Amino acid sequence: MTRPPVLTTLPARTSRPRAVALVLHGGAEYGAEVVRPWRLAYLRMMPVAHAIWAAGARLGLEVRVLRNRVRGWNEPECHPVHDARWALEIIRAERADLPIVLVGHSMGGRVALRVCDDEAVRGACAFAPWTPDDEPVESVADRDVVIAHGTLDRVTRPEDSYRYAERADACAARLARFDVTAENHALLRRPALWNRLAAEFTVQTAGLVPVHGLLARAFEHKRPDRWCLPL
């Protein structure tokens, strides 16, 4: 694996960035294939990245999209975790002291939750995350977390992300989980909803605007209702 990860930048529309979003794509449990820019798991996150940028660029938000070296998680190597930490090091070196918000889908959702313990990260938004029962939750301590899972998903199981939310709730600063009605794993049936949720979470968690609207109401719910909010 000689090719490094690829980090693409959507620049802020201000003289100086005020925050950074890092977008993480999905993959597979195992696989050494190089992630090409036309792979669907990577392309799936580009509309999400552009929606985040459209909502935050004028406020000073810079968006970075990571393309992993290889397709698989590949336990015990956990290649996408190393790639994400590499990206975070690059961002911290270039944008010192700026808050970072993570947004990931599927395996990328798992990665976002796993690397949430980086000192610059404020929180993670995980769409249809792959969260097996042994996935640690300590990494989200004192971070804001939003999880959203399609009710028709047959690739990653909504009940798994529910159990993750149940376990992580005591660690996170604030946590909410949504059940997205009539949606499957690909995020293609209700794209506007996913884009809106990613954008609102990012600009609010980065501190570019106050927490309000959907997320404010979600965080106010009592548990266990907060772990299965319908959308």
- Domain map of the chain by residue range? 6-230
Pick the closest to residue 223 from 180, 181, 177, 179 (CA basis).
177
> Domain 6-230, what fold?
Rossmann fold (3.40.50)
Q: Which helix (H) or strand (E) holds 201?
A: helix 191-205
* Ramachandran class of 98: left when φ > 0, alpha when ψ lies in -120 to 50, beta otherwise: beta
| Residue-wise pLDDT tens digits, 137-163 | 999 999 999 999 999 999 999 999 999
d(CA 162, CA 157): 9
Rounded distance between C-alpha atoms, residue 66 and residue 53, angstroms: 15
Q: At what angle do helices 79-94 and 107-114 cross, to 10 degrees?
A: 60
Q: What is the pLDDT of residues 70-104, one digit of tens each?
A: 999 999 999 999 999 999 999 999 999 999 999 99
The backbone torsions φ and ψ at residue 62, rounded to the nearest 5 degrees and listed phi first, read -105, 135
182-211 pLDDT per residue, tens: 999 999 999 999 999 999 999 999 999 999
Whole-prediction pTM value? 0.97
SS3 125: strand
